[in-house]
Amino acid sequence: MLEPANTWTQGLDFPSRLFESGSNDYELYEEDGEFVLSVELPGFDPAEITASWYDGVLNVAGEHEDERRGTRRTYHRRFRFPKAIDEDGIEAEYRNGILTVRLPVTVESAVSGREIEIEG
């Protein structure tokens, strides 16, 4: 009798997914004073992808129509950033199915705030 795939992989040391919704299609990290966001969008044409910035939120959207197969794929995701971004310095590039967006952090990068005293 064959066992379901999920039971035979349980004994192996596979890392568990961070997002159970299957949203592992992007990578976001900060280096050299900028955020770097890489989004996997295989099969899309650069003209089918839009990226827009508004009020601390980056919107990435794509729509691809495959007329031969009669299918349509859409993608939409929003990314909120905790630091001030130099809007004029944002750059995006699409190569080999991956959209890479670079968002430079402004000098006064820390979001304003303060430590809250806890009374006991």
CATH assignment at residue 40? 2.60.40.790
Cα–Cα distance for residue pair 37/13, rounded to 1 Å: 28
pTM higher than 0.85, yes or no? no
Question: Residue 82 in contact with residue 58, Cβ under 8 Å?
Answer: no
Return the percentage of the chain with pLDDT > 90, whole number: 46
Residue, of 116 and 52, whose pLDDT is higher = 52
Q: How far apart are CA 56 and CA 111, in angstroms?
A: 11
Q: How far apart are CA 24 and CA 42, in angstroms?
A: 14
72 inside domain: yes
Cα 73–Cα 24–Cα 87 angle in degrees, nearest 5: 80
Residue 54 lies in a domain: yes
Tell me the residue type at 80.
R
**Poorest-confidence range of 46-55, 70-79, 104-113?**
104-113
Query: Going by C-beta distance under 8 Å and a sequence separation of 6 or more, which residues neighbour residue 26?
Result: 37, 38, 39, 40, 77
Residue 63 located in a structural domain: yes
| Predicted confidence (pLDDT) per residue in 31-43, tens digit | 988 999 999 999 8
pLDDT (0 to 100) of residue 95: 93
Tell me the residue range of the domain where 72 lies.
Answer: 26-104
Q: In the chain, how many domains are there?
A: 1
Q: Specify if 13 maps to a domain.
A: no
Q: 17 lies in a domain?
A: no
More confident residue, 46 or 16: 46
Are 61 and 82 contacting, i.e. CB atoms less than 8 angstroms apart? no
